[in-house]
A and B are shown apart, each in its own frame.
Chain A
């Protein structure tokens, strides 16, 4: 009961070769000044052109079936590609959600028309998604969503508000969790459904919300009597809860949960390599040991996904540990400024560090809070 295993998965030579290919591509993009490495790039740094390039390389929708434009490669291959992109701080925010979760969700629950019209565009890096879960009054308590979809003659009418929708201003679609019938007294999880909503439809209003760093990636998305056709329902009416839980497993276990600020660590070590050798080898060792452990766990979850398992709990482990690691890493770097004061750090490194410091509170909020992760784990341990 109390054991959650993360079986060791060895990286094969094929995977190493793929890694080298992606790395080569990133290096040449950097050499051509096509992007500037940025922290938290999968949230903040969107470049549709870069996404399109990745699509043409075959590195989006990697595990999707060929009949929908996918490449039928493994979840482990996708893992390797995402690791390389994240560790270099490449501008992947535009396609990130579509490639990570929305595409898989449509393939799993969507009808043929939905799959044929959307999946090939995701794979090409031309169709982006936002997440439609949180609402002004529903954060961690997702089952309390009030956005409502009502049956009409030709389909559905959508009414409500989604919030914290990262990238909605760039996205083409949002998978919206909405109530289609009232919750029963016994089960709040009943009566929810997922909809595939085209964000260019009339009466959809997207308003940016600057976050505390001053950047705009958050949005509020208002659905004011939006007319939806019948085939916008994703999956089964009333089964939205079960579907959304599966979607969250895809969202939580990936390397973005511990590599969001890797560019900072990398630049820090390159800059202070010699000083660290004299006075900081211990802290470097500690960080290495934690990253490698997390990589092993996350890679192991990728292999579970590949085998068709449902590692929702394991995903919560990775997210919880990854969030803690990132916070610890920034604290560790901060303490190092005792040895070399911050004002003597090169400007670019100072900026990265300050950015990371500002952004880090969000890492244990997005994708489910620490409290939710611990709740999931406690439930699996039989405590709830």
Chain B
């Protein structure tokens, strides 16, 4: 399986290297043939179904093992919801629903959802890339059981479209929409936790790029007769970025080994806290060392920093998970802190 994953990682890098450039990121619409070509290449190589069961045509590599792929996808700044599709398809497949072809996006949040028979109404919030997708996964509790709900012909009233993010996000009000499939989610699948892992991993992929961009820019850009990288003030700021990034990677590294049945959610909380905090620092420092050029749309830094800004808020920000982690220790445990930590 490790060999199989390595081949997939190599293939993914080749595809993304070939297709992704900053021009593509500025024209994320389904009519863009370059976007279509990229998706076709991705789909032909089976990437969207990497964690889908073999019986549904997937590679059946566990979701926790494919985090390196998620990192690569976001290190390239791929302007398609491939990471979201991989997670959606994994959850569908685990819920015994055959994942559809094409982009499958998800609702990070919902409000006022009503389900009757196979009809759904309510507010579906902060959906990434709805413009590229007919397929949408919603996780919602219905009849006291968490359900995976697949919608394959989404339409409704767009109540808010968020354009300030690097990727398009939509809030949408749906009324009496047909559900394609609805099935209970397997016990050990928790959408919020999986989403937090996904976003943490995406952030690390993007932060690696942000650090590389900063190093390269400061090494090339000259002011006062020397490269910016020769100024100690700049060196120390970039060192801070590297420290934050390494801490996030170290925090995430435990997850590849994780079995959700252990209910060991602390590691997930820690990953999201650490990556979110690091992202805040990397956004600030990378823009600071880039100067005005980083603040332009034509230069690629902002694509990554805008994504970091939204991902650190998705599926719980640092404060949410810090509160979760703190309460979990303070409430449910008679152990002292050291016993708890070890």
Point out residues on A near B: beta carbons under 8 Å: 1-8, 10, 19, 83, 87-88, 262, 265-266, 269-270, 273, 276-277, 280-286, 288-297, 300, 317, 320-321, 371, 373-375, 377-378, 381-384
Q: Is the contact region of chain A dominated by helix, strand, or loop, or is it mixed?
A: helix
**A-contacting 9-mer, from B43-51, B306-314, B317-325:** B317-325
Q: Which residue of A lies closest to B270 (CB)?
A: A289
Q: Is the contact region of chain B dominated by helix, strand, or loop, or is it mixed?
A: helix
**Bound CA–CA A295/B336 (angstroms):** 17
Q: Which residues of chain B are near A283, meaning CB under 8 Å? A: 322, 326
Chosen A-B contacts, 30 in total, with CB atoms closer than 8 Å, are: A1-B215, A2-B245, A3-B208, A6-B249, A6-B250, A8-B253, A8-B254, A270-B336, A281-B323, A283-B322, A284-B329, A285-B323, A286-B318, A288-B326, A288-B329, A289-B274, A289-B322, A293-B247, A293-B250, A317-B242, A320-B239, A320-B243, A374-B235, A378-B238, A378-B239, A381-B215, A382-B215, A383-B229, A383-B238, A384-B229
**Extra inter-chain contacts (4) besides given A88-B338, A283-B326, A383-B238, CB under 8 Å:** A2-B208, A3-B208, A281-B330, A292-B341
Q: How far is the CB of A272 from chain B (nearest CB, A)?
A: 10
Q: How far is the CB of B255 from chain A (nearest CB, A)?
A: 9
Task: Assess the B235–A378 pair: CB atoms within 8 A.
Answer: yes
Contacts A277-B327, A288-B329, A295-B341 hold; do A381 and B269 have CB atoms under 8 A apart?
no
Taken residue by residue from 9 to 53, chain B's Cβ proximity to chain A (1 for < 8 Å, 0 otherwise) reads as 000000000000000000000000000000000000000000000
Q: Which residues of chain A are near B246, meaning CB under 8 Å? A: 3-6, 297, 317
Task: Assess the B242–A6 pair: CB atoms within 8 A.
Answer: no
Instruction: Name B342's contact: one of A19, A317, A320, A321 (CB within 8 Å).
Output: A19
Q: Which residues of chain B are near A273, meaning CB under 8 Å? A: 330
Contacts A277-B327, A293-B251 hold; do A371 and B341 have CB atoms under 8 A apart?
no
Task: Assess the B219–A374 pair: CB atoms within 8 A.
Answer: no
**Bound CA–CA A74/B330 (angstroms):** 34
Q: Which residues of chain B are near A277, meaning CB under 8 Å? A: 327, 330-331
Q: Which residues of chain B are near A321, meaning CB under 8 Å? A: 243, 247
**Bound CA–CA A374/B235 (angstroms):** 8
Task: Assess the A289–B269 pair: CB atoms within 8 A.
Answer: yes
Q: Which residues of chain B are near A1, meaning CB under 8 Å? A: 212, 215
- Pick the 6 closest A-B CB pairs, nearest first: A285-B326, A281-B326, A285-B322, A285-B325, A284-B326, A378-B235
Q: How far is the CB of A274 from chain B (nearest CB, A)?
A: 8
Q: Which residue of B lies closest to A266 (CB)?
A: B337
Contacts A289-B274, A383-B219 hold; do A377 and B242 have CB atoms under 8 A apart?
yes
**Bound CA–CA A166/B245 (angstroms):** 33
**Bound CA–CA A379/B159 (angstroms):** 50
Residue in B232, B234, B246, B331 with the greatest tally of chain A CB atoms within 10 Å: B246
Q: Which residues of chain A are near B330, meaning CB under 8 Å? A: 273, 276-277, 281, 284
Q: Which residues of chain A are near B251, meaning CB under 8 Å? A: 289, 292-293, 296
Q: How far is the CB of B320 from chain A (nearest CB, A)?
A: 9
Q: Which residues of chain B are near A270, meaning CB under 8 Å? A: 336
Task: Assess the B331–A289 pair: CB atoms within 8 A.
Answer: no
Task: Assess the B324–A285 pair: CB atoms within 8 A.
Answer: yes
Q: Does B136 contact A (CB under 8 A)?
A: no
Q: Does B192 contact A (CB under 8 A)?
A: no
Q: Does B273 contact A (CB under 8 A)?
A: yes
Q: Which residue of A lies closest to B319 (CB)?
A: A282
Contacts A320-B243, A383-B219 hold; do A378 and B236 have CB atoms under 8 A apart?
yes
Q: How far is the CB of A207 from chain B (nearest CB, A)?
A: 35
- Residues of B within 8 Å of A, CB-based: how many? 49
Contacts A4-B242, A377-B242, A382-B219 hold; do A286 and B322 have CB atoms under 8 A apart?
yes
Q: Which residues of chain A are near B338, meaning CB under 8 Å? A: 87-88, 262, 266
Residue in B240, B243, B253 with the greatest tally of chain A CB atoms within 10 Å: B243
Contacts A377-B239, A383-B219 hold; do A288 and B212 have CB atoms under 8 A apart?
no
Task: Assess the A282–B242 pair: CB atoms within 8 A.
Answer: no
Q: Which residues of chain B are near A5, meaning CB under 8 Å? A: 246, 249, 253
Chain B residues numbered 253-275 whose CB sits less than 8 Å from any CB in chain A: 253-254, 256-257, 266, 269-270, 273-274
Q: Does B211 contact A (CB under 8 A)?
A: yes
Q: How far is the CB of A365 from chain B (nearest CB, A)?
A: 16
Task: Assess the A285–B250 pair: CB atoms within 8 A.
Answer: no
Q: Which residues of chain B are near A284, meaning CB under 8 Å? A: 322, 325-326, 329-330
Q: Does B218 contact A (CB under 8 A)?
A: yes
Q: Which residues of chain A are near B256, meaning CB under 8 Å? A: 8
Q: Which residues of chain B are near A374, meaning CB under 8 Å? A: 235-236, 239-240
Q: How far is the CB of B40 from chain A (nearest CB, A)?
A: 31
Contacts A8-B253, A8-B254 hold; do A288 and B341 have CB atoms under 8 A apart?
yes
Contacts A292-B266, A297-B250 hold; do A280 and B337 have CB atoms under 8 A apart?
no
Residue in A1, A262, A270, A288 with the greatest tally of chain B CB atoms within 10 Å: A288
Instruction: Name B273's contact: one of A83, A276, A286, A377 (CB within 8 Å).
Output: A286
**Bound CA–CA A286/B331 (angstroms):** 16
Q: Which residues of chain A are near B323, meaning CB under 8 Å? A: 281-282, 285
Instruction: Name A2's contact: one of B212, B234, B318 (CB within 8 Å).
Output: B212
Q: Which residue of B lies closest to A87 (CB)?
A: B338
Contacts A289-B274, A374-B239, A383-B219 hold; do A2 and B211 have CB atoms under 8 A apart?
yes
Q: Which residues of chain A are near B253, meaning CB under 8 Å? A: 5-8, 296
